[in-house]
Structure 1
Amino acid sequence: MGIIIEGLKEHFVSFIGMVLSGVAGWFFGRPKQRMELQTSELENVDKAVKIYREMIEDLGAKYASAIEELKKANQRIKDLENSVEGLLTELKKYKQLNGKSKE
């Protein structure tokens, strides 16, 4: 019976040693895991910020291009309005000349 208890005692001590070493490893490894997790999160945030920055720069260029096209379109509208005004003025003159020449 004493031999069995000695054998169990040996295995029990080994088991307790493994459990304690596992707990100690987990306890002391926690800060490292937290640091690695924070580093990973920061890298992901950095990548997301880079993507959003590129998108914003692209949108800024598209916005500037759209503003330039709008300015050109507005100028074209003004030019066409001036042409219409000129044509209406000429039409009035022709109507006046035709009205006077018939009399």
Structure 2
Amino acid sequence: MHQILIENFGAFMGAILTGIVGFLFGKKKLQAEVAGMSADNEGKEIENADKLVKLYKEVLDDLGNRYEIKFKELSSIYDSKIKLLEDEINLHKRIIAQLKEENIILKQKIKFGGVTR
């Protein structure tokens, strides 16, 4: 058993040394990869934030256009309502004028005794 250990001691030490060296270089490589991933993630976060800012800007720009359209629609509705009310007022004025004329005629008939029942 002792002989087997002595014969394989070099191979055993070589394997341990290779493992240690591989671990050290692998650790540095892993750290470099993690740093690269962090940089990529930061870049993606900045890119996403930029896209979000552009999206908000488009929404705000579109909001002005939509506001203008809605304002014109509402203004048109109010103008129509005003026109309708003015027409109604004019109709009532004509009715009042007709009733006044009718009232004058009826007063004259009463005054001259022209009304019969």
Give the TM-score category using the shorter length: 0.7 to 0.9
Q: Match of 1:46, as an amino acid?
A: D
Larger Rg: 2
Higher helix share: 1
1:59 equivalenced with 2:95 (yes/no): no
State the shift of 1:23 in Å: 0.8
- CA deviations 1:12-60 (Å, max 9, x no partner) are 1111111111111122343332221110111111112222222222222
What percent identity do the matched residue pairs reach? 19
2:9 aligns with 5
Q: Match of 1:25, as an amino acid?
A: K
1:86 equivalenced with 2:90 (yes/no): yes
Structural mapping, 1:15-34, within 5 Å: 15-34=19-38
Q: With structure 2 as the length reference, what TM-score do the two structures score?
A: 0.78
Report runs of 4+ in structure 1 exceeding 6 Å deviation.
Answer: none
Aligned counterpart for 1:97 among listed residues 101, 106, 110: 101
Instruction: Provide the aligned length of Structure 1 versus Structure 2.
Output: 103
Q: Root-mean-square deviation (CA), in Å? A: 1.5
Q: With structure 1 as the length reference, what TM-score do the two structures score?
A: 0.87
- Say which is worse superposed, 87-96 or 25-34, in terms of deviation: 25-34
